[in-house]
Amino acid sequence: MKKQFCGLMGAAITIVTAGILAPITASATGAEITTGAFKTYATGLSRSYEITGNAHMVRVPSGKTIVDIQVFGLAPNTTYGVHVHNKACSDSNGGGHYMHDPAGPVDPVNEIWPGFTTNAAGGGNGFATNNFIARPEAQSIVVHDTDKARIACADLQ
């Protein structure tokens, strides 16, 4: 689901997901929000995961991209790698990592990494802010298991 917000000069956009409020400030008009629900990949299912949750990406015209995720159904007290990917979940399992500068480094400044560590119940919240506006090819968010296998994905629409 893609939404356009106009006339938000100095206003705050509040995203409400799973009972969690995540305030995101938009300092200019025209912030674009894309959202998606996490679905477990076959690899995740084979590892006994049943992953659910939501993802949001906010492209703020002043030059920022903000990603907020909530994920459930993972192992407790475990750190997971999470990255924005450059294809839809159904296309090559999300393709490769989205990179602001395709010739640049593989790091959280050039890519978007909202990683997290789960709580005792296997839920986690990730957040990333980058100082660039993600291009349209930033299409999905992939959760990687501790061995880097792709276990869940959310298409951003």
pLDDT value of residue 29: 55
DSSP, collapsed to helix, strand or coil, labels residue 46 as helix
SS3 state of residue 137: coil
Give residue 23's pLDDT: 41
**So what's the pLDDT on residue 62?**
93
Question: 132 to each of 38, 65, 66, 85, how far by Cα in Å?
Answer: 24, 6, 9, 16
Asked if pLDDT for residue 137 goes beyond 60, the answer is: yes
pLDDT in tens, 2-43: 443 333 323 333 333 333 333 444 444 589 999 999 999 999
Nearest to 112 by CA among 92, 126, 93, 122: 126
Give the count of beta carbons closer than 10 Å to the beta carbon of residue 72: 17
Name the pLDDT band for 108 (thresholds 50, 70, 90): very high
At residue 135, does pLDDT exceed 70?
yes
Average pLDDT of the segment spanning 51-78: 98
For residues 98-114, average pLDDT = 97
- Return the sign of the alpha-carbon dihedral for residues 96, 57, 28, 131: negative
